[in-house]
Structure 1
Amino acid sequence: MTYTPRAVAGMLGIAPTTLRTWDQRYGLGPSKRTEGGHRRYDEADVEVLRRMVALTGQGVAAASAAVLARQEPPARAHSPISAAEAIQARRGFLAAAKRLDEPLMLGLAAKLLTDHGVVSVWESVFVPCLVELGELTAVRGLGVEIEHLASGSVLQALRDVPRAVGPGVLAALLSCAPEEQHVLALEALGAALSEEGCQWRSLGARVPAEALCDAVTRLRPSVVLVWAHRADLAELVPLDELGALPGSLLAVAGPGWIGLPLPPGVRRPASLADAVELVLDRVRL
């Protein structure tokens, strides 16, 4: 099957002029032509362009992205991290954090995610490390800079996981509760969904109730998940209004929801793995 330039531009969500520019400047053009000389893209051409869109979306310069886009990504299955590997990884990451060695933390985090995947690394390495650093800060009253730099490194590594591109259903809309500022767990869920080829969007921190309801109405995601780390923040979420909106499954996550009564039909996954499976199950319906 082949596609016209207009069809490809629509599939990728880019302007036809962008497609033409990438062809003229970087040679990312169609490999086929009709008898009349009209350009036609085949599936392989479109896949290269998908990688180009993803790379430029991550901030890679267009010329460099074009080179990388032509390279076939290696098919590699993630292997769950073993207990021994997790212990060693935590030691290495914590040592780098205490030295404020951001480049090393970024390198370690990226390699762990590449080798073992988001869910395994988040649960076995990142969360234990961040909890330990947070406890040290709370006990000693020092080390806030260590905790912040470590969190920032994890955040950057998660955001570097390639996003799914192209047409398809919006699998999940992720949001913090109003006044909630902790976004790291949502970024972990988003990165894990990217590994599964799911499209998602995150509204980030401190999302007003009205804005969240408006976004759900406009986007109609398969799943809406709201994060809160304290009960007083969770109580600000308009669960009844969100639950009344058609088409989306409502879920909540984070320690702020523990013990709070939830309206019928609202789901509360207990872990990152559970949240990923919840979204995948909904998308498969």
Structure 2
Amino acid sequence: MRRSTANCVLPMPVITEAEPITQADDCQGLYPIREVARLTGINPVTLRAWERRYGLIEPKRTESGHRLYSVTDIESIRLILGWLERGVAVSKVAQLLANTKPADNPQPEASEYGEWQSRISGALTAFNESELERLYGQIYSSYPVEVVFQGIFLPLWQQLSKVQDVFGRTSEWLMLDGFLRGRVQHRLQLQAADARQCVMVVAMPELCRELELLVAGLLLTRNDRVVRVLAIGQPLEELSLVCEKLEPEAVVLYASHALGTAHHRRLMRLAQTLDCSVSLAGAGSNVAQEALAGSSIGCLGSEALLMNQRLDADLKATLGS
């Protein structure tokens, strides 16, 4: 899908693999703009424009006026880049970042994420699946499921997908992708079949990959809810037939990229044909909030806690309980 440039006159930055951030003693945990450009792949001209024109980042200044960036600034830059890759105009990113701040729950530090990702990368480089399995078990037993995937595995998966022109990286990405899809599918199969609620999770055509869809389904699972994730390629026009058989309380459409006009039209038509709650989840839903305001379609967001809270509210309103 082509990215709109109506609101963005800046050239798209070159994407590089995210590197672990290590603090330098001589700058007390702050980084000059040239180092930030190296770590993120975003050139200094673009970084300055994001600050001056859009207020996306606010680096500190030395007495002589030189910019210094914190670890938090660097993580924000990577989040901004993620939104741009999903087709969002840079002029809209500030509001999206403000609307999608994670809940105030204890989270591992960025350095802790990086340490796990570095160890996973080592296992992938060696094509050592037993070590990958061991690390996965350690991580899964140490953190909530949303941290396992949204904090550690998926960011690394996304990084590898961007550098597949580097020799060997395609094979590493395929190994990680296949490994994670298998583990998530296994978790989904362990759901209680007699759960009170049934929720169907379906991909918006061409707007997400299978792993993203499966993880979304896993993040929505609960003891009182069984989640059925339909295969990538499920025709939206046939969802009414599937719903007739499965009788879900809710259908959640998932999109990790921004919806185009045609997608919005299809979504609106779909909601009119289904006799249940219809919602949109994923990064694409954050972008679509304004366009869907006033419709019957709920926007669940992309953070696990927020998705579940909003889905609960939609179900409560729909079921009248």
Q: How many residues align?
A: 206
The answer on whether the counterparts of 1:179 and 1:207 sit within 8 Å (CA) in structure 2 is no
Give unmatched runs, 5+ long, in structure 1.
1-78
Partner of 1:170: 197
Paired letter, 1:268: C
More off after superposition, 202-211 vs 170-179: 170-179
1:109 aligns with 2:136: yes
Q: In structure 1, how many angstroms separate the alpha carbons of the residues matched to 2:243 and 2:255?
A: 18
In structure 1, which of residues 205, 211, 224 is the aligned counterpart of residue 251 of structure 2?
A: 224
Runs (5+) with no aligned partner, structure 2: 1-104
* Map 1:138-217 → 2, pairs under 5 A: 138=165, 140=166, 143-161=169-187, 163-179=190-206, 182-217=209-244
- Cα displacement string for residues 173-204 of structure 1 (whole angstroms, at most 9, x for unaligned residues): 01112355612122112223335442010112
1:267, distance to aligned residue in structure 2 (A): 2.0
The worse-fitting range, judged by mean Cα deviation, of 269-278 and 93-102 is 269-278
Q: Aligned partners of 2:147 and 2:192: how far apart in 1?
A: 24
Which string of whole-angstrom CA distances, capped at 9 and with x for unpartnered residues, describes residues 213-249 of structure 1?
3223432322211123445788347312321245422
Alpha-carbon distance in 2 for matches of 1:141, 1:175: 34
| Counterpart residue number, 1:279 | 311
TM-score, with structure 1 as normaliser? 0.61
Once residues 223 and 141 of structure 2 are traced to their aligned partners in structure 1, the CA distance between those partners, rounded to angstroms, is: 14
The Cα offsets for residues 153-187 of structure 1, whole Å up to 9 and x where unpaired, read as 12222223263224233331011123556121221
- For 2:281, the equivalent position in structure 1 comes to 253
1:68-109 deviations in whole A, cap 9, x for unaligned?
A: xxxxxxxxxxx9652254232111112112222222223322
Closer, same or farther: CA 257–81 of 1 in aligned 2, 3 Å: closer
Compared CA separation, residues 248 and 200, structure 1 to 2 (3 A): same
TM-score (norm 2): 0.55
Judge conservation of contact 1:186–1:227 (CA < 8 Å) in 2: yes
> Which segments of structure 1 move beyond 6 Å, counting only runs of 4 or more?
none
Alignment of 1:61-100 (within 5 A): 82-83=108-109, 84-100=111-127
Q: 1:257 to 1:189 in 2, by over 3 A?
A: closer
**Counterparts of 2:261 and 2:199, CA distance in 1:** 19
1:122 counterpart letter in structure 2: F
Report what 1:39 is aligned to. none
User: What is the RMSD of the two structures over their aligned residues, measured on CA atoms?
Assistant: 3.0
Contact 1:175–1:225, Cα closer than 8 Å, also in 2? yes
Cα drift, residue 146 of structure 1: 0.8
- Structure 2: how far apart are the matches of 1:126 and 1:233? 28
8 A contact 2:195–2:224 mirrored in 1: no
* Counterpart amino acid of residue 111 in structure 1: Q
Distance 1:166 1:132, change over 3 A: closer
Q: CA deviation at 1:255?
A: 4.2
* Paired residue secondary structure (2:162): helix
* Percent of residue pairs identical: 17
Which of 151-160 and 222-231 deviates more?
A: 222-231
Q: Secondary structure at the match of 2:221?
A: helix
Pairing 1:108-127 to 2, within 5 Å after superposition: 108-127=135-154
TM-superposed CA distance for 1:117, in Å, is 2.4
Counterpart of 1:262? 292
Q: CA deviation at 1:129?
A: 0.8
* CA pair 255-281 structure 1, distance change in 2 beyond 3 A: closer
Partner secondary structure for residue 201 of structure 1: strand
